[in-house]
Structure 1
Amino acid sequence: MEAFLVSTGIVALAEIGDKTQLLALLLAARYRKPGPIVAGIFVATLLNHFAAAAVGQWITTLLGPDVLRWILGASFIAMAVWMLIPDKLDDDSRLFDRFGVFGATAIAFFLAEMGDKTQIATVALSARFDQLAMVVAGTTLGMMIANVPAVLIGDAAANKLPKRAVHGVAAAIFAVLGGITLLYPLS
C-alpha cells in the first residue's frame, strides 16, 4: 500500500503546473468535451506509466542492490531539483485536428509524458518499491487527480493554485525519498 500511496502523492504534486496539465487545460478550452479528454488522459497515462514501471522493474534485475540504491537516491534528489524548474507547452494543433478529441488527447499525452518528470518518477518509484501494479495504479491516479480538475474546472482555477509552493512540496518529498533511499538499503 505504501508504493501506491507514495506514487499517487508524488505524481499528483509533480503534475501541478506540468506541461501535461497545461495540455489538459488546452484541450479542455479547445474541445469542451471533458469525457473523451479524461478518457484519453487515462489511457495514455496508463500505457506510458506501465511501460515506465516495467523499465524500473527491469533495471532492478540488472543492478545490485547497493548500486541501485545510489542511483535511485541520486535520481530522487535530481527529481527534487527538476521539480523547481517550470514546464512550458509546445502546441501542435495539427495533431488535435487529425485524430479527434479522444485520439488527440491520448496521443498528445502519451508523447508529452515521454521523458517527463512523472515518467522518470514512475521508473524510479517502480525500481524503489518493486511493486509494478501498485506503482502504475498510484502514478496513474496521481495524474488523474491533477489533470481531471484541470479539464473540468479549466484555466481559471488552475492559475490560482500556488504552483511554486506545490512544486516546492513535491521537491521536498523527492529529496526526502532520495535521502531515505541513500541511507537505508532497499528491501
Structure 2
Amino acid sequence: MFVEAFAVSTALVAIGEIGDKTQLLSFALAQRYRSPWPIMAGVLLATLLNHALSAWLGNLLAGLIDPRWLTGLLGVSFILLGLWMLIPDKDEELGNGHRFGPFVAAFVLFFIAEIGDKTQLATIALAARFPEGFMAVVTGSALGMMLANIPVIWLGARLISKRGELWAHRISAGLFVLFGAITLLALVW
C-alpha cells in the first residue's frame, strides 16, 4: 500500500503542477534571487507542511466515509481538477519578497500559493483514499511538487513561454481526466 500511495501521489502532483502558478512563482523567485538551493529548500519545507496538513485532513475524512465512496470521490475529483486546469490561472500578486531572503520568500509564498490549489485538494483526496499511507502521500506529493518545480528553478526563462504554458495545462488536464476515469472504472470492475 505504501508504494502505491507514494507512486500515485508523486505522479499526480507532478503532473498537476505542470504549468501551474507555483511553477511561475518558482521562475520569478529564481530570477529575482538567482539562488536555487535556498529557493528549493523553501519550496520543499512549505510543501511538506502544507501537504502534511492536507493529508491529515484527508485521513480525518477517510474515517468518516466508506472506502468505495472515497474511490469514487477521488475519481470525480481528478476529473474536476483536470477540467479546472483548463482554466488559466490569473496572475495573482503574491508579494514581492524583497524584504526577505530567498528561503523565507520561497517558504512563505509557496505555502500561501498552495492554499486551495488543485494539488492541495488532490493531496487531501489521496490521503482520504490511502488513509494508512499518510507518510507515503505526504512524501509522494512533496516529491511530485519538487519534480515539477526544480527544472523551472534551474532553467528559468528558457522553459517558460505562453504557448508552452498553454500546452502544459492541456496535457496535464488530459492526464488528470484520464486518471480520474481509470479510477472510476476500477470501481465497476
* TM > 0.5 fold call: yes
The CA deviation at 1:37 is 0.7
Of 132, 135, 138, 1:136 maps to 138
1:51-105 per-residue CA deviation (whole Å, 9 max, x = no partner) reads 11111111111112343333323212111111212223323445x1233221111
Report the TM-score when normalising by structure 1.
Answer: 0.88
Structure 1 residue aligned with 2:183? 181
Q: Percent identity?
A: 49
Structure 2 residue aligned with 1:117? 118
Partners in 2 of 1:8 and 1:24 — Cα distance?
Answer: 19
The verdict on how the C-alpha distance between 1:121 and 1:13 changes in structure 2, with shifts beyond 3 A counting, is same
Letter in 2 for 1:39: A
- Residue correspondence of structure 1 range 37-48 to structure 2 within 5 A: 37-48=39-50
Q: Which range is displaced more, 170-179 or 116-125?
A: 170-179
Structure 2 residue aligned with 1:18? 20
Structure 1 residue aligned with 2:173? 171
| 1:108 and 2:116 matched | no
Structure 2 gap ranges (5+)? none
The CA deviation at 1:160 is 8.0
Partners in 2 of 1:168 and 1:157 — Cα distance?
Answer: 16
Q: RMSD between aligned alpha carbons?
A: 2.1
Partners in 2 of 1:174 and 1:41 — Cα distance?
Answer: 23
Partners in 1 of 2:167 and 2:35 — Cα distance?
Answer: 30
The CA deviation at 1:161 is 7.7
Structure 2 residue aligned with 1:56? 58
2:91 match: secondary structure: coil
Partners in 1 of 2:67 and 2:21 — Cα distance?
Answer: 33
Count of matched residue pairs: 185
